[in-house]
Amino acid sequence: MTDRDETNIVKNPARRKLLSSGLIAGGAAALGGVFSKSAIAAAPDPLITEIQDWNRYLGDGVDAAPYGVPSEHENDTIRRNVAWLTADEKASINFTPLHRLDGIITPNGVCFERHHGGKAVINPADHRLMINGLVDTPLVFTMEDLKRFPRTNRAYFLECAANGGMEWKGSQLNGCQFTHGMIHNVMYTGVLLKDILAEAGVKSSAKWILPEGADASHMSRSIPLEKAMDDCMIAFAMNGEALREEQGYPLRIVVPGWEGNMWIKWLRRIEVGDKPWHHREETSKYTDLLKSGKSRRFTWEMDVKSIITNPSPQAPITHGKGQTVLTGLAWSGFGKIKRVDISLDGGRNWQPARIDGPSWDKSLHRFYFDFDWDGSELFLQSRAIDEDGNVQPTKNELRAARGGNSIYHNNGIQTWHLRPDGSAENVEIS
Ligand SMILES: Nc1nc2c(c(=O)[nH]1)N[C@H]1C(S)=C(S)[C@@H](COP(=O)(O)O)O[C@H]1N2
Ligand SMILES: [Mo]
């Protein structure tokens, strides 16, 4: 420990006093007196006037954590599972803690996971990607081969088609992590699928591709060739580092704006064909049952949607009435978000929110609504509108269109009942 630092701070009460009065004056002026809890308190705040342990002792050196982790005070920022949802955690799902995050990028360690056969663990040196079917030359790539193609960086959301599925019949799960947390948004690095397909030479009769995973579920999904040639990527990195194993290390396909189940992880093969393959996934699970008893198939795009992340049931208001920051996320599988409206009274009156941060195609958008809460009960709602003019529907509008039997593609407007004590609850307004 260098006592010099200590001496300066601990043994110089004059300097300490100066520092604290400086903070007080600066704080009050900058805040313009809007906060009820004045910084100029009658009793001195020991956190300002007294030396704390973290001022007194030297901290860990640079190599204490070769790969850093969040502060222990952030240990509530974790993925969570809902045990009763699935019979087995190897074919299960957990949820992104949306209420603990800000901005638009989901940190790699808290991206929700959806596995049908558990997480595959693969040494990248042993990983291969095969392209076969209706191509001039079937090819096999190593990871090293793939990294020699021109790269691209793009941020996209991935939303499971079942996100919000438990809420079709009525409000059920108390927290945006559980009602909306089957989504993540990361910056992918990889190569465009069209460049890989061009290398193999796609035959003119080809219309579909079938990506397949190397995990125990061998999951595969048919994707129209048009989409594959448009903006699909073969990604090997997320948020600047290699994919996490949970997200398909070392390789996954990125299918921007489309249902999460098409984004095959641990990608090992892409077959090119002239018609869609028949899969169990598609026919029994990712199909929307309509009121008429017929089903909607091939509903690939994820519809325009938004959610208020704070305040919300897991993130109550603890500061009391007055200046309040309401925030949330909006997205659309059809492109950019043009506008987000906020209602404080369950959808009767709407005011525009402020979108802040990058507005990218098929990526999460962050919105804020800064308001003066009078401490009364509110019914908070957000409604997103995308650049194609799609408007997020109410849950009743959705049910009128599709009936009550659906699970997938619930993009209905969420209501949080904010109570005078600052707590919030998942409710529905009819
Ligand atoms: N190989 C393989 N790919 C897969 C799955 C899987 O179980 N195996 N699950 C799919 C489903 S249903 C979803 S919603 C997304 C989830 O991606 P994530 O785990 O990165 O959140 O991956 C998709 N890709
Ligand atoms: Mo999914």
Note whether 158 and 283 are same-domain residues: yes
pLDDT at 15: 31
Note whether 314 and 285 are same-domain residues: no
Note whether 281 and 345 are same-domain residues: no
- Give the whole-angstrom CA distance, residue 167 versus residue 202: 42
Nearest residue (by CA) to ligand 1, atom 16, is 114
Q: Is the pLDDT of residue 68 over 70?
A: yes
Note whether 219 and 150 are same-domain residues: yes
* Residue whose CB lies within 8 A of the most ligand 1 atoms, among 79, 110, 219, for a mutation test: 219
What does the DSSP 8-state code read for residue 147? T
Note whether 126 and 221 are same-domain residues: yes
pLDDT at 16: 33
What total number of domains does the chain contain? 2
**Residue 282 Cβ < 6 Å to ligand 1:** no
Note whether 318 and 181 are same-domain residues: no
**Residue 116 Cβ < 6 Å to ligand 1:** yes
Q: Which two tokens stand for residue 18?
A: 């100066």
pLDDT at 22: 33
Considering only residues 78 and 286, tell me which one the structure prediction assigns the higher pLDDT. Answer: 78
**Residue 247 Cβ < 6 Å to ligand 1:** yes
Q: Is the pLDDT of residue 141 over 70?
A: yes
**Residue 252 Cβ < 6 Å to ligand 1:** no
Report if residue 48 sits inside a domain: no
Q: Which two tokens stand for residue 215?
A: 């995990």
What's the gap in Å between 160 CA and the centre of ligand 2?
Answer: 4
What ligand 1 atom has the least distance to the C-alpha of 246?
19
Note whether 146 and 269 are same-domain residues: yes
**Residue 213 Cβ < 6 Å to ligand 1:** yes
Report if residue 43 sits inside a domain: no
Note whether 278 and 311 are same-domain residues: no
Report if residue 216 sits inside a domain: yes
Look at residues 241, 265, 297 and tell me which one is the last residue of a structural domain: 297
**Residue 114 Cβ < 6 Å to ligand 1:** yes
* H or E stretch at 197: helix 193-200
What's the gap in Å between 303 CA and the centre of ligand 2?
Answer: 15
Tell me the pLDDT band of 240, cut-offs 50, 70 and 90.
Answer: very high
Q: Is the pLDDT of residue 280 over 50?
A: no
- What's the CATH number where 338 sits? 2.60.40.650
Query: Three-class SS of residue 109?
Result: helix
pLDDT at 40: 60
Range of the domain at 374: 13-31+302-429
- Give the whole-angstrom CA distance, residue 298 versus residue 287: 7
Question: Over the Cα atoms of the chain, what is R_g?
Answer: 25
Find the mean pLDDT for residues 255-282. Answer: 89
Considering only residues 10 and 115, tell me which one the structure prediction assigns the higher pLDDT. Answer: 115
- Total residues belonging to the chain: 430
The answer to whether residues 95 and 114 touch, using CB atoms and an 8 Å cutoff, is no
Note whether 358 and 215 are same-domain residues: no
pLDDT at 10: 30
What are 357-403's pLDDT values in tens digits? 999 999 999 999 999 999 999 999 999 999 999 999 999 999 999 88
Report if residue 47 sits inside a domain: no
pLDDT at 84: 83
What ligand 1 atom has the least distance to the C-alpha of 116?
7
Report if residue 255 sits inside a domain: yes
What are 161-206's pLDDT values in tens digits? 999 999 998 999 999 999 999 999 999 999 999 999 999 999 999 9
**Residue 219 Cβ < 6 Å to ligand 1:** yes
Note whether 21 and 143 are same-domain residues: no
Provide the residue type at 390 as one letter: N
Ligand nearest to the CA of 243: 1
pLDDT at 299: 83
The answer to whether residues 141 and 129 touch, using CB atoms and an 8 Å cutoff, is yes
pLDDT at 284: 42
Q: Is the pLDDT of residue 18 over 50?
A: no
pLDDT at 36: 52
pLDDT at 408: 92
Q: Which two tokens stand for residue 280?
A: 């169990």
Report if residue 88 sits inside a domain: no
Task: Please report where in the chains the tokens 């001022």 appear, as a residue.
Answer: 55
**Residue 183 Cβ < 6 Å to ligand 1:** no
- What's the CATH number where 148 sits? 3.90.420.10
Note whether 263 and 339 are same-domain residues: no
Report if residue 219 sits inside a domain: yes
What's the gap in Å between 186 CA and the centre of ligand 1?
Answer: 15
Report if residue 121 sits inside a domain: yes
DSSP string for 402-422: H-S---S---PPPEEEE-TTS
What are 74-126's pLDDT values in tens digits? 999 999 998 888 877 777 999 999 999 999 999 999 999 999 999 999 999 99
- Phi then psi for 351, rounded to 5 degrees? -135, 145
Provide the residue type at 168 as one letter: W
- Give the whole-angstrom CA distance, residue 364 versus residue 183: 9
Judging by beta carbons within 10 Å of its beta carbon (0-12, 13-18, 19+), is residue 379 exposed, middle or buried? middle
Task: Select from 143, 315, 160 the least CA-distant residue to 237.
Answer: 143
Nearest residue (by CA) to ligand 1, atom 4, is 264
Look at residues 253, 277, 297 and tell me which one is the last residue of a structural domain: 297
Nearest residue (by CA) to ligand 1, atom 24, is 264
What are 329-349's pLDDT values in tens digits? 999 999 999 999 999 999 999
The answer to whether residues 208 and 225 touch, using CB atoms and an 8 Å cutoff, is yes
What ligand 1 atom has the least distance to the C-alpha of 260?
14
Look at residues 237, 267, 297 and tell me which one is the last residue of a structural domain: 297
* Residue whose CB lies within 8 A of the most ligand 1 atoms, among 247, 263, 282, 286, for a mutation test: 263
Q: Is the pLDDT of residue 41 over 80?
A: no
Note whether 313 and 339 are same-domain residues: yes
